[in-house]
Amino acid sequence: MSQANQPAQGEARPKVEQGLGAKTSLRVNELDLLRFIAALMVVMFHYGFRGYAADGYSLLPLPAYAPVSKYGYLGVELFFMISGFVILMTASSGSLKKFVISRVVRLYPAFWACCTITFVAIFIFGDSRFTATFSQYLINLTMLNEFVGVRSIDGVYWSLAVEIHFYFFVVLVLLAGQIRHALWFLIAWLVISIALDVLPKEMFLMSRLRSMFIVDSAYYFIAGATCYLVRANGVSILKGLVILVTWLMATWTSIQALGGLEARYQTTINPLIVGLLIALFFAVVVLMSFKLTGFLAKKQWITLGALTYPLYLLHQNLGYLNFNYWYGSVNEHILLWGTIAGILVLAYFVHEQVEARGGAQLKAFLDRLIEKLAKSEPQAAQP
């Protein structure tokens, strides 16, 4: 998670969305709950299945949880779908400056804290399975390490690179001043992704093109962004077709990928369950776009939403290190749920002490910096 990961709730702005010409409240309560559910899915995938099933990261076998936990990898896809919705909502004013500042403020303070905590834990408790150098840590702090070929300190950071790639696309649309026509850019991205999925993978430059257009995650971003457009400006046949096609392609490509997953993890994955989960994701986000999620929309889930990003960033390596330290001396169920509880407490601390405070300070600093740079620009010559 992504998000990825991580997708974030957009900052509050006036109810009129100037960029898309819609009148809607930017606080969508259900997003916080969905993000937390996606994070828990990923946590249970790593703790209840993946850590022990591959690469020997975890010594703790949890066979009672594995049959369900192995489907938790789809939580990342839900993150990407939420991110498509939220990021287009954040960019809807058409202001590049606001968009960039909002993303930097939302992502970096918590990431710096979580990356530092994980690095220190690896330095103190790590072994041959968990290693990190100081230079690797410094490059990781930029959040751009994946783009320069430096390994992430924690494997979950891979989804951040996907998110940043998506942000780059949004920045290009904002630079072009075309956020009002976002749907056409989404359709173009969808057509390119389908073409790259149906053409032979062995074709020249195919791997590079798939990476350039983040095809493996594109359908979820496109679907989420289109659902935001439905919520903001209403439904249309074209938007409905985009959502339908992205759902079909997301389902088809996910089922096509099962063979590789089954071989890697030496397990069987039911394609019907995968298809049903993806359909559920799409159904919930579509209902959200029509404001039909009932009591979920009326309740505030702010605390759960606040925990999501640091929970996602912290859980994997810290959890495995804890499992390996206590394995054999603590009951497996107590160790599992005690670790989850501990990571949630740590995530809350990071949110309260770093994300909330540091984010506000970083935003104030960036606002002052941009204002200072604007004032220092040469003034146009007077006639």
- Written as six digits, the tokens of 199 are 């053409």
Residue 23, pLDDT > 70, answer no
195-216 per-position pLDDT tens digit = 999 998 888 889 999 999 999 9
Distance CA 8, CA 84 (A): 10
Q: Is the pLDDT of residue 367 over 90?
A: no
**In DSSP terms, which residues pair with 16 in a beta bridge?**
23
Say which residues have a Cβ less than 8 Å from residue 287's Cβ, sequence separation at least 6.
293
Model confidence at 13, pLDDT cuts 50, 70, 90, reads very low
Q: Considering only residues 36 and 359, tell me which one the structure prediction assigns the higher pLDDT.
A: 36
8 Å CB contact between 266 and 210? no
User: Tens digit of pLDDT for each residue in 293-321?
Assistant: 988 888 899 999 999 999 999 999 999 99
Mean pLDDT of 329-349: 97
Cα distances from 167 to residues 7, 28, 45, 220, in angstroms, run: 11, 20, 26, 14
- Evaluate if residue 4 carries a pLDDT over 90: no
**Percent of the chain's residues with pLDDT above 90:** 79
- Average pLDDT of the residues in 74-86: 97
Q: Give the chain's mean pLDDT.
A: 90
Mean pLDDT calculated for residue range 61-69:
96
- Give the model's pLDDT for residue 377: 62
Q: Looking at residues 70-96, what average pLDDT do you find?
A: 96
Q: How confident is the model at residue 363 (pLDDT cuts 50, 70, 90)?
A: confident
